[in-house]
A and B are shown apart, each in its own frame.
Chain A
Amino acid sequence: MKSILEDNMLIGNEEDGEDDIESEGGDENSDEDDEQDTDGFDEEEDDIAEEDDEDERESRKRKLSEEEEMPSKEAKLEDEDQSLYKLPTVDELNRLRETQMLFHSNLFRMQMEELLLEVSVKDKHRHKLNQWLNQFTSFVKSLPQSPAYQLSATKWLKENNVVDPLTLPESKGSFQFIPPTEVKFVGGAAAGTLLSTDETVDVMLVLPKEIVTFKDFKDGRWLAKRSKYLSWIAFNIQGQSDLVAGVNWTYHLGNSSRPVLQVTPASGIGKKWKVNLFPVPDATSFKLSLFSPERWTVTPTWYFGDEGAKEEEFEATPHCNWSSAIDVIMQDHLEHIGINICQHSNLIQGIKLMKVWLAQRYFNKGLRTMSSHVISMLVIHLLQVRKINSQMSGYQVFRTVILTLDSVDWIEKGMCMRNDTGEDVPSLERLCDLYEVVFMDPSGRVNLVGNLMKEDFLLLKHEAQLALQILNSSSADSFDFLFMKKREFYQLCDQVLSLKLNKKKLKKIVKKHGNLKQHELDALGDLRFPAWSAVMKTLKRGLGDRVMLLVPESGAVPSWPVGESPPKGKSSLVIGFVLDEIAAKALLTKGPAADDPEGKNFREFWGEKSNLRRFQDGSFHEAVLWGTVNQPVGDRRLIPGSVAKYILNFHYDMEDGDVNYICQGTESILRLGHCRLPRKYGTGEESTVEAIQAFDAISRKLRSLDLPLKITSVQSTSEVGRHTSVFPPIVMKFLTSGKGLEVCESRVQFATEIGEVPPYTYAIEVNVFLETSGKWPDNLVAIQAIKAEFYKTMASQLTDNGIAALTFPKYLQVLWNGYIFHVKVCYRREIYLSRLVANDDGVLREQDTDAAIKLETELEILPRITSALASVQADHPSFNSGVRLCKRWVGSQLLLPHVPHMAVDLLVTYLYTNPAPYDAPHTPHVLFLRFLSLLAHTDWRTTPILVNLRDTFTVEDVTELNRRFTSERSSLPPMFIATPYELRGSSSSVDDTYRYRLASMWTMESPSLPIIYRCKQLASAALDYMTKAMLKNTFDIKLIFRPSLDDFNVVIKLQESHLSRRKESVDASVPNPKFVKPYKYQRKESMPIVMFDPAEKYLTELREAFSHLALFFHDEFGGNVIGLVWKPSALPEQELKIGSLEGHRIFGVKTVKQAPNMEAILSDIEIMGEGLVESVTINDKT
């Protein structure tokens, strides 16, 4: 952005002939230059141009002549570059200038233009839609008048096989059908903001004055009338197959008192949109003030019959009035929009963008929707208060609306489009009492958002806030996050609570909070909304700051055939929690002080759970305790659920069976069911932390050693150090004896007799850096020898201290407090030495050799990433379990041999550093869902993943990486994941690609495209299962953690007794959990078997031998199968190539050919896995 700005300046300067600031520091123009730099307005620039024109004309002439004399560079340029150097046209400059002034970035602008093109309705379709409306109008207008019926008469309905969707008590009045006076589009189709992705088009039918009387305002008669009117149309239109393909009932905005007729137009247009029919009264039929929110329009005696309570006890019926007022005001609004919006294409564009934004967040459908009509009205309001002007670009309109949504308070203060607060209009304070969310229309009597709950609006505000963050960030993906990615409910909420409610429960809930009848009257019997909002209020009070947001799921609006009665509304409620990660885990809910009068309230709310407690500062407070101090984090994460369950039970008698708390199910995968540890393992966070603490202790110990060269730093490169080890090492008693084991020189090793394999013991890698010395040899082998000398010295000193240590040729193995460490001495120059390669003339040149890159990774890159990920963990406590859960899944699907561990780690980190369009995840559960969605929905071909660890990417890096990604796509890894740490510093070589050559080094070799495709499929299947089944009782998370073996050509089954990691398996079945014996230190302890996993060895050998013919799949976490898939390209017979005979047989006499020697390979597989392989099964389903 900034560079574009500067560039533009330069172009401007060219006209003036001004010179650059740097070269002519003392020039008189420099001040002006500075000024322009800061504000960058073009008008100013032009002024200067005029002033200076005269003076500079001379010099410009000189320059031009110079240019002619000199053989200009332009001429020399290649043809293809020529277009880049042509003189800029005015249009081009204008566009560049506009981009810089009015848009986020060039790419953003182009993306937006594409999007608008995509969602705008094509002329063809618009034409067809108009045609259909004409057809429909003439049909409806030609319908004959009906005889006059009693409003309560239902006989004609039955005769015509239509069910009136609205059931109200009998009321007086009559109904007669007379064709509408007018039929026209309202909403999007009228304002020109209709999107091709919209599902419905709204059409308004203006009822003639004769059939609506002034008295119809009372007792919901208008609502009954409109519903009858629609019923009449319904049975008349049903048979018209040339006009409609289907006729259904549905509810307007999910409000059960407002049924609308939804017809599917015949012809192609019906596939795109359905048409909702809205009958509205003639403008002169009602006075709007009749439906003013503070009035009551329903008489209790009518609604409840004779035993109804006295009228004085009842207050206003705002929601009921609202239901009718919408119809009354519809024509006004239509006119309003017509005047203010329709001519301004940029406003329309802005509204369209808003609509896409809302749609991606599902605000546009469901029971409580933020309709696009509200947005149009909001834009008009902003026009009136001059926050938007008609010159703004669509992007700016969008931005301003988002900004407004972020800043307004429609809950406490409300907003009104009418600026003169006349006395006849209710005040905003009063309105805020009547409705949960208030945004009044220009008349001041209709609440445009009367259907919303408080929490809906808070969610909207939250989304707007996130959108602003995205808009302000310079990230290249901001467009995607705003308009392309769907915000799914389940991926938004850290935890989900599902409540089973029925009519009885609803009544009970409402009753508890006040006048049941009043609510029944206002909602015309539909108690869901008042009950839900009461539950939300109670939950909010109970959870307090544990949750940032309570998100009620919006639920689907039903749609049913006209001949059937309306389906029973789902009264169950699904509530998502967006947690405050720290507060959510608080053990105590602290109440008011003991002597505070508020204390009574608190006790009443919490019941017996509340106790008086003494706090550390000596004060006494009411408080509720939810757990114990030494509970593992994995358990404490579930506290919000316990709180919610308790409150619901205490206040509404909700049993455990009625409340389903979803979160622990997913995370249970991380728990160890098969062994009982002396300390609670939970989901393993504590074990990771303990391992890291042990690492810190050992590094202090190492520093204290007396070595020829001092230790300058000790770094960790191990998985557990970056918090991503699925099964962190657990301290327990080592197996030192038993069948097949023997102790030799204080080290356990395998005896000739073969027994069961001992459990896997992890080693934590430790890098030790020494102070610099000139005495190191120049020879790589000699360096290894010197290192070994260091190991020996260290080992002898550690042993003297009573710590078991063994010297291996390439590392030092230390056993400390039950943890095993592999210590390696690092020498930075080794990287340089391994980069040197002799070329033909015997001179050494630097080159990226495999060995050098490996060293560079271990010594330079990994430690930095490790510490960066540790800081991610510090910011986001759920990171640890989250990564481990995701990695466990990738592993369980046998993909870890192909998807590097680091790739998983970084993808998860990416979800934390770039959480848009959500907040950063706060539980492993939600992270896992987002991870699956990332795998399932990312188009890796066009999306680079830039993991901005610690915000260390520079703007240039991001631009350059993106540029490279686009221009060199085919030569880069299919899954591109780059971090700032693999970018190198200034180089000693002249090569300019040096800095970026290692970008995405983690995925350089794998995953390949087929693997990525498989990931995608598996992830979307898993995600699908999760979202569909999560709320059901039958939900079993393990289902998606079991691999399907159908797709493998050969399945190799391994013997459990030789799997050292079998306890890590998802289905590790141990009937009685074994109590793990705690580790006890003893002097002269012998070193156990470390890092020995036969399955891993076997897999490595198989891959080395047959990777040119087949792919191997295995779950490193105790998986007992290896799957094999033949590479399709390797199977057919080929020309004989002696060089690549590996594993082929040859045949044919005249023309000798080769083909994979299947028989021999299969027997090789058994031979190489002797003792480990249980069976080899060929899957011949082809």
Chain B
Amino acid sequence: MEDCPENVQGFKVMRLKFKEESKSYHHILWKRHNVRVYDELKPPGRTLFVVNVPPYCTESNFKHIFMKYGKVDNIYFQKKPSLDSTAPPKHPHFSLVNPVEGFKVAYVVFTKPDGLSHAMSASPSNDLILSTTANPVATGIKKWHQEYNSLYVSPEQLSTEIKSVMESYEKEKEEVEKAAKEDEPDEDGWITVNSKKTVKPKLLKENEFKKKTKRKKKKQAELVKFYAFQQRQSKIDKLAQLRKRFEEDKKRINMMKSTRKFKP
């Protein structure tokens, strides 16, 4: 393979092999995670941003690879880099977020800033090995068997998860109610002003919305064809519409013509 640079656009280029004996490798690139928006899950001083992570990488294997640079706190996989919070879902079985598949990016959060600097000064000549005998990566049939088996959740586990979902929902609801209450004047007519914005965006009630649009429509309906000029206008409009359709038909004919559709 041709020479490849060690560094490119601030990224460090490393080679990742699947197994020790694999001949081919993927280039994975990493750099310090450095964005303006602070995210407590990915603290800038301790987070490594990795791109071109192959599809079969799992969190545990990845952790293993980076262990040699320092203790790893967390690993977040994402399809594309984004600012959104990427906390793993609290309730994995009820989550509506699809798991990340295919090539992805990873945020590796080290426990200490040391880990990050070690990673940045790693030697590119040392290939990284993903699947070791101690830590094999399950792929293919094995993986799918495991997946199938894990589809089922035991009733007890399910119950606890349902419970916890409902609890957190109740809590959230209470908070919203509380916040709503704060906006209302208390007995003395005072409103407590919070610096924080309302936690939950307001829901525009469906029927309210409908009412509004209906009112608008009514207004329009009343004025239709009231004056003579409006009547004239509507007729002209209709003629115009007719012509428009005519033009459109013509266009269609031309399109058909261009595909020699009239050759029987």
Contacts and interface: CB of A to CB of B under 8 A. Distances in A.
- Do A and B truly interact? yes
A1159 interface: yes
B52 A10 contact: no
B229 A66 contact: yes
A749 B152 contact: yes
A956 to B, nearest CB: 13
A966 B238 contact: no
Nearest to B18: A1167
Given A750-B145, A1105-B55, A1143-B52, A110 B253 contact: yes
Interface stretch (A240-248, A615-623, A835-843, A884-892): A835-843
Nearest to A787: B94
B162 A106 contact: no
A1152 B140 contact: no
Interface string B133-174: 000000111101111110111110011011001100100110
Given A781-B91, A788-B162, A1148-B2, A842 B140 contact: no
A586 interface: no
Interface string B207-238: 00110010000000000011011011111101
Given A356-B264, A1145-B4, A1163 B23 contact: yes
Contact of B94 (A7, A88, A788, A1144): A788
Given A106-B246, A1142-B103, A844 B204 contact: yes
Contacts of A10: 235, 238-239
Given A110-B249, A1094-B141, A1160-B26, A1105 B153 contact: no
Nearest to B255: A942
B55 A1164 contact: yes
Contacts of A1147: 1-4
B103 A63 contact: no
Interface string B1-43: 1111100110101000010001111110100000000000000
A785 B94 contact: yes
A809 B94 contact: yes
Given A1139-B80, A1168-B139, A967 B248 contact: yes
Nearest to A70: B229
A939 B252 CA distance: 13
A1082 B247 CA distance: 70
B9 A1141 contact: no
A1142 B140 contact: no
Nearest to A1159: B24
Contacts of A842: 197-198, 201-202
B200 to A, nearest CB: 9
Contacts of A81: 240
A84 B55 contact: no
A20 interface: yes
Contacts of B262: 111, 114-115, 117-118, 484
A1146 B259 contact: no
Given A750-B149, A1136-B8, A1146-B13, A63 B232 contact: yes
Contacts of B165: 781-782, 784-785
Nearest to B16: A1160
The interface size bin for chain A is: 35 or more
A1094 B252 contact: no
A957 interface: no
A38 B113 CA distance: 86
Contacts of A74: 236
B94 A1152 contact: no
Contact of A111 (B103, B155, B256): B256
A1130 interface: no
A1157 B201 contact: no
A1147 B1 CA distance: 8
B158 A1101 contact: no
A484 B141 contact: no
A1138 B252 contact: no
B68 interface: no
B95 interface: yes
Q: Determine which residue in A83, A745, A809 has the highest number of CB atoms from chain B within 10 A of its CB, and name it.
A: A809
A11 B147 CA distance: 70
Contacts of B9: 1136, 1138, 1152
A1149 B5 contact: yes
Interface string A1103-1141: 011110000000000000000000000000000101101
B256 A988 contact: no
Interface stretch (A125-133, A323-331, A655-663, A1170-1178): A1170-1178
A807 interface: yes
Contacts, number: 284
A7 B239 contact: yes
Interface in A108-142: 110-111, 114-115, 117-119
A1173 B139 CA distance: 12
A941 interface: yes
Interface in A984-1023: 988, 990
B10 to A, nearest CB: 9
A296 B20 CA distance: 100
B118 interface: no
Contact of B162 (A73, A789, A1162, A1171): A789
A789 B163 CA distance: 10
A1172 B155 contact: no
Nearest to B157: A809
A963 B155 CA distance: 54
A84 B243 CA distance: 6
Contacts of A1089: 148
A14 interface: yes
Contacts of B256: 111, 114, 942
Nearest to A841: B201
A107 interface: yes
B257 interface: yes
B264 A781 contact: no
B231 to A, nearest CB: 6
B101 interface: yes
A231 B31 CA distance: 93
Contact of A843 (B1, B101, B202, B225): B202
Contacts of A747: 152
Interface string A1065-1100: 000000000000000000000000100101001100
Contacts of A214: none
Contact of B255 (A4, A750, A966): A966
A359 B263 CA distance: 12
Contact of B203 (A844, A963, A1143): A844
A773 interface: no
A832 interface: yes
Contact of A1146 (B5, B244, B257): B5
A809 B153 contact: yes
Contacts of B243: 83-84
A588 interface: no
Interface string A774-792: 0001111110111011001
A483 interface: yes
Interface string A785-801: 11011001000000000
A806 interface: yes
A23 interface: yes
Contacts of A1173: 140
B264 A359 contact: yes
A1036 interface: no
A1031 interface: no
Q: Determine which residue in B93, B154, B161 has the highest number of CB atoms from chain A within 10 A of its CB, and name it.
A: B93
30 contacts: A70-B229, A85-B236, A85-B239, A114-B256, A117-B262, A118-B263, A359-B264, A484-B261, A744-B149, A749-B152, A779-B169, A781-B91, A781-B95, A784-B165, A785-B161, A788-B158, A792-B158, A843-B204, A942-B255, A963-B248, A1107-B102, A1136-B9, A1141-B103, A1143-B54, A1145-B1, A1146-B4, A1159-B1, A1164-B56, A1167-B140, A1173-B140
Give me the 6 closest cross-chain CB pairs, A-B, nearest first.
A1170-B140, A1171-B141, A1142-B103, A809-B93, A750-B145, A785-B165
Given A10-B239, A785-B165, A1171-B141, 5 more contacts: A778-B203, A781-B95, A785-B94, A1105-B101, A1167-B140
